Amino acid sequence: MNFSPIGISLLLALLSPTLLSGSGDSRTLEDEFPPTVCIVGSGIGGSSVAHFLRNYSVYSDLDRARILMFERHEIVGGRMRTVTVSGDTFEAGGSILHPKNYHARDFVERFNLTVRLPTPIEESCALGIWDGNKFIFKTFGSSIKFPFVDKIVSWVNDLYIFVRYGFSLLRMSSFIENTVGNFLKYYESLESRPVFDNVEGMLKWSGLYNLTKLTLQEKLSEAQLSPLLVNELVTVITRINYGQSVLISGLAGAVSLAGSGGGLWSVEGGNWQMAAKLINHSDVTLHLNEQIDSISHHDEVDIQFSPAISIPKRELQHTHATFVRGLLNPGYFGIKSVSDVPVLVGTLEDPRIPFSSISILRKYSETDMTYKIFTRQPASDLLLDELFSARTETVRIDWGAYPKYHAPEVFAPFILDDHHLYYVNAFENAASTMETSAVAGENMARLIISRYRTEKSSSSSDTRSCSSGLHSDL
């Protein structure tokens, strides 16, 4: 059975000392051959597993385990990646972190990384919602850069938004807060928090499972949000954060909405540094440019299992991130001055609209800026020439960014073979963020340790391996 390269982007196999000896020798004492954990993928999920395995196995037999990590690219970080445009560095993949992303906060503090707060242009409240012909809603921007002026403009915009959407905004806020509150249960003490061996159980325990059974549109209708708010502002947010409509699952939608609030941050120099630090401080043997294409009992992502393992089909939503240094064409939007184009242009769910969003990342002058454009299809030169009156540099990145969310959602198992082959990214079908991957990684580390303890006697006779197809091309 074949899968897409990111369809199962993180697998773990806990190997027995017997196989690591490479012979039929019956001497399998762990003193000679400590257990080995193979991690496929160096993103935040895989690096978090390595980190928590080291932290939690101090009092277990796994404290001496070897951790091998295989990464098919030449750098670590998975979908946390930066891009350089005219010498400036911007986040190209996982870009923002929530103020209550406590694992990410801990990683930053633990490794003395620097928190990067949004720049004034990124914090600008100038939003326009484009329907393909006109801006149906546009907030106010400010060209006067004084804090008190920005605060006044922000208040005016808050009032303006409230006039349009009314008390539905408060109901949306309550919906988000309830979801975040349930998610915070995953940070409770180890003594009060079970080890989960499946995604469904993990979600049910926190009170989030029912959000995966209905679409975001259905959940917001239950919460009595106005169709106007859902079809406009909520749709803009889900198209930006997940490249999809309000027909995504309620949980993915709630996480998307939470990512549109205040207090957002990132890591100075790139979020990928969290993965790099976790790996460097976890005594991991890292193999870059090494692609895994089979795992066998002696076998996804075009990694093959032998014997075959049944996993629910997992489609990915591709998001094309295009970075352009130049100047937008105001004529495309039917206006005369580029200064009248909002800092963030969001769009409605309409197949005739060729982009999901356009935002200003950096403003060098009134005629020179760097923009980030999200599209569901590759941004052709023809489209970019319509959108921009000038382009001095263009960088394109195609991300298999996150699952295509549905409701009711179906989840792959954490334990793939009833032994010691694990799938961390099964949790990503609930919601895909850097923090949810870290939360899943933490649980996976606990699960590995727990099962290894209880199955130690039987696992010592297993014959399982993790083999890399060196430099293979999927």
Predicted confidence at residue 73, as pLDDT, reads 94
Task: Write down the pLDDT at residue 21.
Answer: 35
How high is the pLDDT of residue 59? 73
pLDDT of amino acid 19: 35
pLDDT at residue number 419: 82
Which pLDDT tens digits describe the chain residue by residue (474 residues)?
Answer: 333 333 333 445 444 333 333 334 444 455 567 889 999 999 999 999 999 999 999 877 788 899 999 999 999 999 999 999 999 999 999 999 999 999 999 999 999 999 998 888 887 778 999 999 999 999 987 665 666 777 888 889 899 999 999 999 999 999 999 999 999 999 999 999 999 999 999 999 999 999 999 999 999 999 999 999 999 999 999 999 999 999 999 999 999 999 988 889 999 999 999 999 999 999 999 999 998 887 766 545 556 666 677 788 889 999 999 999 999 999 999 999 999 999 999 999 999 999 999 999 999 999 999 999 999 999 999 999 999 999 999 999 999 999 999 999 999 999 998 788 999 999 999 999 999 999 999 999 999 999 988 877 554 444 444 433 322 221
What residues contact residue 46 under an 8 Å CB cut-off, 6+ apart?
A: 10, 12, 39, 40, 69, 78, 275, 424, 441
Nearest to 51 by CA among 39, 61, 60: 39
Beta strands in 261-315 (DSSP E): 266-267, 284-287, 291-296, 304-306
The secondary structure of 36-47 as a DSSP string is EEEEE--SHHHH
Q: Which pair of tokens denotes residue 71?
A: 């990464």
Region of 263 (left: φ > 0; alpha: ψ -120 to 50; beta: rest) is left
CA-to-CA distance for 281 and 112, rounded, in angstroms? 13
The predicted structure's pLDDT at residue 154: 83
**In which residue are the tokens 């400036």 written?**
88
Domain ranges of the chain: 11-79+269-314+409-469, 82-97+116-187+211-266+317-403
Output DSSP code: residue 97: B
Q: Across the beta sheet with 11-15, what order do the strands follow? A: 284-287, 66-70, 36-40, 11-15, 421-423
Strands 36-40 and 66-70: parallel
Q: Say what the pLDDT of residue 472 is.
A: 24
Cα distance between residue 399 and residue 405, in whole Å:
16
Distance of CA 469 to the CA centre of its chain: 27
Domain 11-79+269-314+409-469 has CATH 3.40.50.720: yes
| pLDDT score for 300 | 55
